[in-house]
């Protein structure tokens, strides 16, 4: 079983030192940088705008995996792509035309992802799977870091993997929320190949990032 991609969420980083944090994650062996964008409307928090993404872009060549918890989402796609996003991931609930939104992301030259909240049905994938480069399963309800993993997500990972495999899709299957070394192995065994982690990576400060990332890969 291949080691999963580890995508540290900078939501859990030291916001006063974001550039240094991104460089430290790169040096520690992170695969992608996960950027949680929250608008205070779609979710109850406000985080990172496109100007911050643009400011961080020179600090690493790692892919920027930008999770847009924003509604309406369509007006923001170009701004985040121009700022340096490599992957733009959207919620079906954040706009009226998911198929169009995913197509637009690809037109902009980014990889397109769809996010499914704990209460969102996998049936959403049926008519967009051919446009998806990434399926992100939320293992917490979005809006805040530091939440506990919802165990029933493991069954959802299994079902999502079956859908992707049946469609012949090469899309990554990512899990986000409460991911730790204690449950990372179960997520991968269920079919995930990319893990978003916040506290589990950032605990202990920059000197611990490499060990934390390796613990997740080896779980």
User: Which residues are the active-site residues?
Assistant: 36, 176
pTM: 0.96
pLDDT per residue, tens digit, the chain (219 aa), is 689 999 999 999 999 999 999 999 999 999 999 999 999 999 988 999 999 999 999 999 999 999 999 999 999 999 999 999 999 999 999 999 999 999 999 999 999 999 999 999 999 999 999 999 999 999 998 876 677 899 999 999 999 999 999 999 999 999 999 999 999 999 999 999 999 999 999 999 999 999 999 999 998
Report the C-alpha gap between 208 and 176 in whole angstroms. 21
CA 64 vs CA 35, 85, 162, 166, 180: distances in Å: 7, 5, 27, 28, 21
Closest to 12 measured CA to CA, from 196, 210, 207 = 196
pLDDT for 44 equals 87
Please state, in angstroms and rounded to a whole number, the distance separating the CA atoms of residues 33 and 8. Answer: 6
Instruction: Report the pLDDT value the prediction gives residue 71, as an integer from 0 to 100.
Output: 97
Question: How far apart are the C-alpha atoms of 88 and 165, rounded to whole Å?
Answer: 22
Q: How far apart are CA 208 and CA 188, in angstroms?
A: 23
Query: What stretches of the chain show up as alpha helix (H) in DSSP?
Result: 18-28, 50-56, 77-83, 98-107, 153-166, 181-190, 199-202, 209-218
């Amino acid at each position: 079983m291949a080691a999963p991609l580890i995508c540290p969420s900078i939501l859990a980083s030291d916001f006063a030192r974001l550039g240094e944090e991104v460089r430290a994650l790169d040096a520690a062996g992170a695969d992608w940088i996960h950027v949680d964008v929250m608008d205070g409307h779609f979710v109850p928090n406000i985080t990172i705008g496109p100007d911050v993404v643009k400011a961080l872009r020179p600090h690493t060549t790692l892919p920027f995996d930008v999770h847009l918890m924003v509604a309406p989402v369509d007006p923001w796609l170009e701004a985040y792509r121009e700022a340096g996003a490599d992957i733009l991931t959207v919620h079906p609930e954040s706009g009226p035309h998911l198929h169009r939104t995913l197509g637009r992301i690809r037109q902009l030259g980014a990889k397109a992802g769809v996010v499914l909240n704990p209460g969102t049905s996998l049936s959403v994938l049926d008519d967009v799977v051919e446009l998806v480069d990434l399926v992100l399963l939320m293992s917490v309800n979005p809006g805040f870091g530091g939440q506990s993993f919802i165990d029933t997500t493991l069954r959802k990972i299994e079902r999502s993997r079956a859908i992707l495999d049946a469609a012949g899709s090469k899309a990554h299957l990512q899990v986000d929320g409460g991911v730790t070394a204690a449950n990372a192995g179960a997520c991968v065994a269920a079919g995930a190949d990319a893990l978003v982690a916040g506290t589990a990576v950032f605990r202990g400060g920059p000197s611990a990032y490499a060990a934390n990332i390796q613990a997740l890969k080896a779980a």
